[in-house]
């Protein structure tokens, strides 16, 4: 006779385990301790076997019957329900370990060595802030496109459209890594192409025009703030380096003695992970001399009492604001200004691109010695420093006869 819920609920324990049958192989075992366990007996390939369906009342009578019927359906397909159950539990354990956050950390650690510290720190911070709180604890094999899109939409709502697109690309790389390491079957971001808001027209970082350089440099000469900040801005303008490359510069990178002074920026601090050699002009040597007086015994060229022990990421841009150049210029924009002026004066494009430490899209051409075109770039930078001096003085800069 089939069981009722009341019979299951009121079943009393005894000195020995006792079975209460529900039919179809399903029965409830009442243990001497009072616990009640669902079991199902079945035959597979001529052998009697036992299957566990959990404990009552956590698993109700109706739920236990459903499990029994599912087991019978597997038997009809010649599948052992016990093996199937073990496989399902094993997959559940694997899924619990292989969450999006766990796989993302593994992917990040594999890639981190090829990135600059600043980029890797920024990337992981973005993932932790915008993606991991939404889908980090989900098994990566179970995440669908709608879940990813929901996380990205929250970023878009902040009008951070560019960031949303970049993080979607990063998520795609993580999912493809999961596929390659057999933790996922597919990359759900593939189905989100065209789903994001348009970025709109490209927004280039503000850069001064040639005619604006003179007034800017004269304003910088009267900068009312910290002297180190003004010197740092001049260093960036004269050397065409990125802000981060200047901020974290240490004195041991500079070869200041001899006829060919150089600044060797190690690969680990470069965006493209290649050593970058910067020829130093007389004007830059003077700047470094002043900065050395301010730095004292610090190993950093631009030391400061910050968490990173160097001037903050915003120090230079805030200096531009203070000089009245908010929305008119950015620190990175000086690289564009230099590139435009040098190109207009006929300098070899390869010299300029190498001085900017840009990546070469052609893989064959990208393999280069860090000192490539060094003598040519030295002459180019000497002309550039002289051009800046002339612009600040309000005089006409000399043409460079060998620029073509």
Task: Please confirm, yes or no, whether 335 is among the known catalytic residues.
Answer: yes
Q: How far is CA 384 from CA 155, 215, 284, in A?
A: 42, 17, 11
- In DSSP terms, 44 is beta-bridged to 47
Supply the DSSP string of 65-118, one letter for each residue.
Answer: HHHHHHHHHHHHTT--HHHHHHHHHHHHHHHHHSBHHHHHHHHHHHHHTTS-HH
Query: Residue 27's Cα: distance from chain center in Å?
Result: 54
- Side-chain half-sphere CA neighbours of 141 within 13 A: 15
Task: Please confirm, yes or no, whether 332 is among the known catalytic residues.
Answer: yes
23, 40 Cβ separation under 8 angstroms: no
Measured distance CA(41)–CA(50) in Å, rounded: 5
Task: Please confirm, yes or no, whether 242 is among the known catalytic residues.
Answer: yes
Beta-carbon count within 10 A of 85 CB: 17
Task: Please confirm, yes or no, whether 368 is among the known catalytic residues.
Answer: yes
Measured distance CA(149)–CA(131) in Å, rounded: 10
Q: Which of 183, 242, 247, 379 is catalytic?
A: 242
Q: SS3 for 250?
A: strand
Q: Which of 19, 218, 299, 358 is catalytic?
A: 358
How is residue 256 annotated by DSSP?
A: -
| Alpha-carbon torsion, ordered 13, 19, 20, 26, to 10 deg | 140
Instruction: Label residue 189 left, alpha or beta by phi (over 0 means left) and psi (-120 to 50 means alpha).
Output: alpha
Q: Which of 43, 125, 153, 368 is catalytic?
A: 368
Q: Which of 18, 166, 332, 345 is catalytic?
A: 332
174, 123 Cβ separation under 8 angstroms: no
Please report the sign of the dihedral spanned by the C-alpha atoms of residue 20, residue 26, residue 28, residue 31: positive
91, 139 Cβ separation under 8 angstroms: no
Q: Which of 269, 335, 377, 379 is catalytic?
A: 335
Structural tokens at position 327: 């929305």
3-state helix, strand, coil in the chain (%, to 5): 50, 10, 35
Within 8 A by CB and 6+ apart from 105, the residues are none
Q: Which of 271, 273, 292, 328 is catalytic?
A: 271
Q: Go through the chain and tell me how many residues it has.
A: 404
Residues recognised as catalytic? 242, 271, 332, 335, 358, 368
């Amino acid at each position: 006779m089939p069981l009722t819920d009341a019979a299951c609920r009121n079943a009393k324990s005894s000195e020995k385990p006792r079975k209460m049958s529900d039919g179809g192989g399903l029965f409830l075992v009442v243990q001497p301790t009072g616990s009640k366990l669902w079991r199902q007996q079945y035959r597979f390939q001529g052998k009697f076997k036992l299957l566990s369906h959990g404990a009552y009342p956590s698993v109700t009578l109706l739920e236990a019957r459903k499990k029994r019927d599912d087991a019978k359906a597997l038997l009809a397909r010649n599948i052992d329900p016990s093996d199937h159950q073990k496989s399902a539990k094993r997959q559940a354990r694997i899924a619990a370990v292989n969450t999006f956050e766990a796989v993302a950390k593994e992917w990040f650690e594999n890639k981190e060595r090829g990135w600059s510290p600043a980029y890797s720190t920024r990337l992981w911070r973005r993932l932790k802030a915008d993606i991991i709180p939404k889908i980090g604890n989900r098994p990566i094999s179970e995440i669908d496109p709608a879940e990813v899109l929901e996380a990205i939409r929250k970023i878009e709502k902040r009008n951070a459209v560019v960031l949303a697109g970049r993080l979607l690309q990063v998520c795609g790389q993580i999912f493809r890594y999961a596929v390659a390491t057999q933790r996922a079957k597919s990359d759900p971001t593939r189905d989100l192409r065209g789903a994001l808001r348009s970025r709109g027209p490209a927004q280039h970082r503000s850069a001064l025009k040639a005619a604006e350089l003179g007034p800017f440099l004269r304003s910088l000469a009267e900068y009312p703030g910290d002297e180190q900040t003004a010197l740092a801005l001049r260093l960036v303008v004269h050397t065409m380096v990125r802000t981060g490359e200047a901020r974290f510069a240490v004195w041991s990178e500079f070869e200041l003695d001899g006829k060919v002074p150089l600044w060797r920026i190690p690969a680990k601090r470069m965006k493209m992970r290649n050593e970058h050699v910067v020829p130093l002009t007389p004007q830059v040597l003077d700047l470094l001399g002043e900065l050395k007086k301010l730095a004292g015994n610090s190993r950093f060229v631009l030391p400061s009492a910050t968490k990173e022990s160097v001037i903050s990421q915003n120090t230079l841009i805030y200096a531009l604001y203070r000089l009245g150049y908010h929305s008119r210029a950015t620190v990175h924009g000086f690289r564009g200004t230099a590139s435009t002026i040098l190109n207009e004066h006929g300098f070899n494009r390869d010299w300029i691109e190498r001085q900017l430490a840009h990546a070469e899209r052609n893989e064959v051409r990208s393999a280069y010695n860090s000192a490539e075109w060094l003598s040519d770039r030295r002459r180019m930078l000497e002309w550039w420093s002289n051009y800046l001096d002339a612009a600040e003085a309000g005089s006409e800069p000399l043409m460079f006869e060998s620029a073509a």
